[in-house]
Structure 1
Amino acid sequence: MTTPHTPELARLAHRYPVIATLPESARHRLFETARWARVPAGALLFDDHQACEGFPFVVEGSVRVVKCAPNGRELPLYRVAAGETCIISSSCLLGHEDYNARGIAESDTVLMLLPKAEFDALLGEPAFRNFVFHLFAERIADLMQLIEEVAFHRLDQRLAGQLLGKGRVLHVTHQQLADELGSVREFISRLLKGFAAQGLVKLSREQIEILDPAGLRRMASEGRHE
C-alpha cells in the first residue's frame, strides 16, 4: 500500500463527486482509514473464495471482472473504470460473503480501498448509500444484458456485434475476442474464417479489417426481434 499524494486525492474527488457531498467528519474518516495501492497491468486483485477486504475506488486505470470455469475458460462480466464501482465487491460486503469471481487489473491501476468497517459506517450517510445502490442497479442491468446475449443470441451474432463500432481496422487477437465473448479461440477463429469467406472481413496477423459493416450489422441483429 502507498501513501496518497495531493494529486491522487484531487483525482479521487474528481472521479467520485459523492465524496464532496459527505459531511466533513465522514470525509475525514474516509481519508484516515482508506488504503491506497498502485498495481501493474495483469495483477490479480481478487479471486474466487477470497475474503473481500473492502470497497474499491478506481482512481486510475481499469479492472476486468471475470467468472472462471474449472477448465480455465473465462466469462467476462464487466469492467470497472475510474469513477465506477465493483458490484461483486459491494454484494460481498453487504452479504458478508467471499468473492465469487476474479478481478484483474487491465492496465496500471491506482486504487483506494475503503475497509469494510468504514464502508458499513458510510452506508449510514444518505449520499453514499444512494451512490452505492444507484451504481449497483446499473451493474445489475448490465449483467442482465450479458445474460440475454449469452442465452438468446448465437455466437456468430455476438461476434459480429463485437467487431462493430471500433473502426475499420481492429488490432486484436482471436484469443482476445474469445475472452471477451466467453468462448474459446478455436470457435472464434472458425467463425472469423467464415466471415472472411463471405467477404465481411479480411484477416491478417493480430488484425481484422472490416470490409462489410452493413453485413455484420445484419448478422448481429438476426433473431433479436423474433
Structure 2
Amino acid sequence: MNLRAWQNAYPMLGDLTTTELTWLEGALQVMSLPAQQRLFSPGQACKGFPLLLDGCIKVSRSSDSGREIVLYRVEPGESCIVSAACLGSHQPYNAEAITETHCTLGILDAKSFDSLMCRHAPFREFVFGLFMGRMGSLVQLIDEVAFQRLDLRLARTLLQLMANDGTVSRSHQQLADELGSVREMVSRVLKHFEHSGAVQLGRQQIRVINAQRLQELAAQS
C-alpha cells in the first residue's frame, strides 16, 4: 500500500507516527471497484468508514415508489457522513451508495474508526468538519426541493454538468434523480428549454446550445 498517496489525499493523516502508520496500513481494507458498484443499501449493517483515493461515489435516498434524490457525492479526500453517523449510532445504513466511476478506496472498520477518533485529534476534526459541511449542503438541498422552481434548479444543474462541448450525458431519469423530481416533469421542462432554443435533446444526451439563456434563468431567485 502506498501510504503517501493516502496522506496526500487526507492531509490530517500526515502527522501520524511511524507506529501509527504501520497500524493504519494493517487497518485499512483497500479495494478497487468498477463504476456502478453498490457499496451499501438501506438496512445493511455499517461496513466501516470509507476513505476515497480516486473516483466518485453517489449517496442517495429512494422512496418505495422508486423515486430517488441524490444527497451528496463523495470525492477524493472526502468521506461519507452516512457511514460516520451509522458507526456512531450503531444503526444500519439509511441510504444507498453507488460508485459513479472506477474507485479506489479504503475502509476503516468500526473498531479502527473509533480508535482513530479517540486518539488522533486531526482525524476527529476532519469527521466533525464533514458533518458541518454536509449539513449545510443538505439544508440547501431541502430548501431547493421545497421552495425553488424546478426550471431554475434544472437550468443550474445542466450548467454544472455541461461538458466543454455543451453536452450533458444524463438521461431525463438521472436528472430527475439529481433534483428529487420525477422524469415526466423534468422531460416537460427540458422540452420547454428546447422550444426556447436553450438546449437540443437527443438520445441519452442533452446539448446546451444557448448557455446564456440558462444562466439568466439560473440566476433568478
What is the TM-score with the length of structure 1 in the denominator?
0.89
Q: Work out the CA distance in 2 between the residues paired with 1:40 and 1:94.
A: 28
Q: CA deviation at 1:74?
A: 1.1
Q: Match of 1:72, SS?
A: coil
Structure 1 segments, 4+ long, off by >4 Å, are none
Task: Specify whether residues 117 and 34 from structure 1 end up closer, same or farther in structure 2 by C-alpha distance, changes over 3 A only.
Answer: same
1:24 to 18, 22, 45: 18
**Residue identity matched to 1:139:** R
For structure 1, which segment, 155-164 or 205-214, has the greater mean C-alpha deviation from structure 2 after superposition? 205-214
2:194 to 172, 177, 196: 196
Q: Work out the CA distance in 2 between the residues paired with 1:120 and 1:31.
A: 16
2:219 to 214, 218, 221: 221
Verify: 1:111 aligned to 2:109, yes or no.
Answer: no
Q: CA deviation at 1:171?
A: 3.3
1:147 to 134, 142, 147: 142
Q: CA deviation at 1:208?
A: 2.4
**2:208: which partner in 1?**
210
Verify: 1:136 aligned to 2:131, yes or no.
Answer: yes
In the TM superposition, what are the counterparts of 1:1-226 in structure 2 within 5 Å? 5-6=1-2, 9-124=3-118, 125-165=120-160, 166=162, 167=164, 168-222=166-220, 224=221
Q: Match of 2:191, SS?
A: helix
Q: CA deviation at 1:209?
A: 2.8
1:34-83 deviation per Cα after TM superposition (whole angstroms, max 9, x unaligned):
21212211111011011112111111211100001101121001110111
Unaligned runs of 5+ residues in structure 2 are: none
Q: Work out the CA distance in 1 between the residues paired with 2:202 and 2:49.
A: 42
**Residue identity matched to 2:39:** L
Q: Work out the CA distance in 1 between the residues paired with 2:212 and 2:111.
A: 53
1:97-148 deviation per Cα after TM superposition (whole angstroms, max 9, x unaligned):
1111000011111111111111111112211111111122111111111111
Check whether the contact 1:22–1:128 (CA below 8 A) recurs between aligned residues: no
Q: Match of 2:14, SS?
A: helix
Check whether the contact 1:51–1:98 (CA below 8 A) recurs between aligned residues: yes
Percent identity for Structure 1 against Structure 2: 42
Unaligned runs of 5+ residues in structure 1 are: none
Q: Match of 1:162, SS?
A: helix
**Residue identity matched to 2:21:** R
**Residue identity matched to 2:11:** P
Q: CA deviation at 1:182?
A: 2.1
**Residue identity matched to 2:116:** L
Q: Provide the aligned C-alpha RMSD in A.
A: 1.7
Q: Match of 1:110, SS?
A: strand
Q: Work out the CA distance in 1 between the residues paired with 2:157 and 2:71.
A: 15
1:184-209 deviation per Cα after TM superposition (whole angstroms, max 9, x unaligned):
22221111111111222222333323
